[in-house]
């Protein structure tokens, strides 16, 4: 099967990661790669790592008409851009997978509250399948429109959703502390991601009002206090989540719940060992563990993943495979790069 693919926003980190994954996908053929700020630039000049796969690929100006007759389009655009394109683009292509937050939230009223502006295409929100395959696989099979979940939401949701669904933890008062590598902020030059700023530093941000909070709550069914942190590393997410067990259920075994829930999942590793971001580097895998502390009465769940692969572009490809009826693991690395 040949799937003709376009990547809109291909010059950013998630776009470049999509190009890498498309190059090794047995069914994908890249036909279009657009970029706002690097029109006319060779992909191999901006990202020499892509030179072997794409020696002659040149980024072109975004134009929805250029996507006519493509089977699949990935949108790797800044938040707010996709909602202006999708109403027209959906008439031109078979499947769309959006990596931004534009269509993740089902309630349009949440966008002005968390993103500061009204949604411009609220009538389309209900048509998007939410993209975490391990949790919402049935919705993704054959879906023409997919909103792939981001890195923080994926890590927290993979950790917490099975325990909420099993009735092991209380769905209120859940705490999520998560740290991300600087690539999670994108390629745009920012003071807080300069080497001299981020190196040898560890900071929390988005206190009490980070915009991914409602996505975590939607995906897990829990009320969460989410605090993101910036860590001095290139890739990776480490999420440490705390919750109270449901009263009257006795001493829970959250690790057993996770093992059972993810027993047949190709990209999830549940282990006694504490997860490491380095172990997931470059792969589409997520590593999890969990404990119940009888002394304090807390359940702790930890998840690690690569924010650009399982937390973004790899997850988007995994969702696309399901939407297109391809093997879910096609083109996706299961082994990380180490050391």
CA-CA distance, 4 to 94, in Å (whole number)?
Answer: 10
Which is more confident, 224 or 79?
224
CB 155 within 8 A of CB 207: no
Closest C-alpha to 178, from 293, 272, 277 = 277
Ranges for all domains in the chain classified under CATH 3.30.360.10: 151-307
CATH superfamily placement of domain 151-307:
Dihydrodipicolinate Reductase; domain 2 (3.30.360.10)
Maximum CA extent, the chain: 64
CB neighbour list of residue 80: distance below 8 Å, 6 or more residues apart: 100, 102, 115, 117
Look at residue 249 in the predicted model and tell me its pLDDT. Answer: 76
Please name the fold of domain 3-148+310-324.
Rossmann fold (3.40.50)
Number of other CB atoms surrounding residue 152 within 10 Å = 26
Q: How far apart are CA 85 and CA 126, in angstroms?
A: 17
Which one of 22, 151, 241, 319 is the catalytic residue? 151
Q: What would the pLDDT profile of 70-96 be if each residue is shown by its tens digit? A: 999 999 999 999 999 999 999 999 999
Q: How many angstroms separate the CA atoms of 27 and 3, rounded?
A: 6
Residue 96, helix vs strand vs coil: strand
Residues of the chain with CATH 3.40.50.720: 3-148+310-324
Q: How many CA atoms lie within 13 A of 86 on its CB side?
A: 31
- Report pTM: 0.97
SS3 assignment, position 58? strand
Each residue's pLDDT tens digit, 304-319: 999 999 999 999 999 9
Confidence (pLDDT) at 171: 97
Virtual torsion, Cα 112, 114, 116, 119, nearest 10 deg? -40
Residue 177, both tokens = 């502390």
Reduce the DSSP state of residue 214 to 3 states and report it. Answer: helix
- Among the listed residues 139, 284, 291, 130, the one whose alpha carbon sits nearest the alpha carbon of residue 216: 130
Torsion angle, alpha carbons of 25, 27, 31, 34, to 10 = -40
Contacts of 224 (CB under 8 A, 6+ apart): 156, 160, 174, 175, 176, 213, 216, 217
User: Using one digit for the tens of pLDDT, what is the confidence trace for 231-268?
Assistant: 999 999 999 999 999 988 777 899 999 999 999 999 99
Residue 26 has a pLDDT of: 98
Secondary structure of 109-176 as H, E, C letters? CHHHHHHCCCCCCHHHHHHCEEECHHHHHHHHCCCCEEEECCHHHHHHHHHHHHHHHCCCECCCCEEE
Active site residue 151: yes
């Amino acid at each position: 099967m040949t799937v003709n693919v376009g990547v809109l926003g291909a010059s950013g980190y998630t776009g470049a990661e999509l190009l890498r994954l498309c190059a090794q996908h047995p069914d994908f053929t890249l036909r279009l790669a657009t970029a706002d700020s690097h029109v006319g630039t060779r992909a191999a000049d901006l990202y020499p790592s892509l030179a072997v796969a794409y020696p002659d690929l040149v980024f072109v100006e975004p134009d929805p008409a250029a996507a006519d007759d493509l089977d699949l389009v990935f949108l790797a655009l800044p938040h707010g851009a996709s909602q202006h394109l999708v109403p027209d683009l959906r008439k031109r292509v078979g499947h769309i997978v959006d990596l931004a937050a534009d269509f993740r939230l089902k309630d349009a009223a949440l966008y002005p509250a968390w993103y500061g502006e009204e949604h411009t295409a609220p009538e389309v929100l209900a048509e998007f399948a939410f993209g975490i395959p391990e949790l919402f696989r049935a919705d993704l099979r054959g879906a023409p429109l997919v909103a792939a979940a981001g890195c923080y939401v994926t890590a927290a949701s993979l950790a917490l959703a099975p325990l909420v669904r099993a009735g092991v933890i209380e769905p209120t008062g859940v705490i999520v502390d998560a740290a991300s590598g600087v690539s999670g902020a994108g390629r745009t030059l920012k003071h807080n991601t300069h080497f001299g700023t981020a190196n040898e530093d560890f900071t929390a941000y988005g206190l009490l009002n980070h915009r991914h909070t409602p996505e975590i709550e939607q995906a897990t069914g829990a009320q969460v206090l989410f605090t993101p942190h910036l860590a001095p590393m290139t890739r990776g997410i480490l999420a440490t989540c705390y919750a109270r067990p449901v009263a009257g259920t006795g001493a829970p075994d959250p690790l057993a719940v996770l093992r059972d829930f993810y027993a047949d999942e190709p990209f999830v590793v549940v282990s006694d060992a504490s997860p490491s971001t380095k172990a997931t580097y470059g792969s589409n895998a997520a590593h999890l563990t969990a404990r119940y502390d009888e002394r304090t009465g807390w359940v702790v769940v930890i998840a690690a993943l690569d924010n650009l692969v399982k937390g973004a572009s790899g997850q988007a490809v995994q969702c696309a495979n399901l939407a297109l009826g391809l093997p879910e693991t096609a083109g996706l690395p299961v082994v990380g790069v180490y050391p």
